[in-house]
Amino acid sequence: MKLVVAVIKPFKVDDVKAAVQELGMQGLTMTEVQGYGRQRGHTEVYRGAEYTVDFVPKIKLEVICEDGEATSVAERIIAVARTGKIGDGKVWITPIDDVWRIRTGEAGSDAL
């Protein structure tokens, strides 16, 4: 089992979700995160005091899938989430020892 993690631009969530679904994945988990990287943040001004905010809102998606599916899921996300502008984000894959579905207790592939 693998966990594919993607940090993407927020407005790409629906497209990526649809794309992942098309590949047959039945679910995913999404988290609101703040990203720091090459993409510049912004400046805020309150009564003359200027604050630089370096973090940019991003969405983190996590998809658990079979070992064999991981790369294709990652590639699909990369294709769909791309705008070509700085800050499009990252995708990475980490190993998973085991996974269970809480409702049934099923493990492994059956848990997905």
Ligand X SMILES: Nc1ncnc2c1ncn2[C@@H]1O[C@H](COP(=O)(O)OP(=O)(O)O)[C@@H](O)[C@H]1O
Q: What is the x/- site pattern for ligand X, positions 36-65, by CB under 6 A?
A: xxxx----------------x-x---xxx-
Instruction: Identify the DSSP state of 69.
Output: G
Structure tokens at 46: 């309150």
Residue 22 CB, nearest approach to its own copies (Å): 14
* Strand 49-53 with 56-65, pairing: unpaired
Q: 39-47 — which CB contacts under 8 Å span 24+ positions?
A: 39/86, 39/87
18 binds, among other proteins, ligand X, its own copies, none (CB under 5 to 8 A by kind): none
- Select 15 or 22, whichever has its Cβ closest to other proteins: 15
Backbone phi, then psi, for 32, in 5-degree steps? -80, 125
Among 31, 33, 51, 71, binds other proteins (CB under 8 A): 51
Contact 89, 7 (CB under 8 A): yes
40 binds, among its own copies, ligand X, other proteins, none (CB under 5 to 8 A by kind): none
Binding site for ligand X (CB under 6 A): 7, 25-29, 35-39, 56, 58, 62-64, 86-90, 101, 103, 112
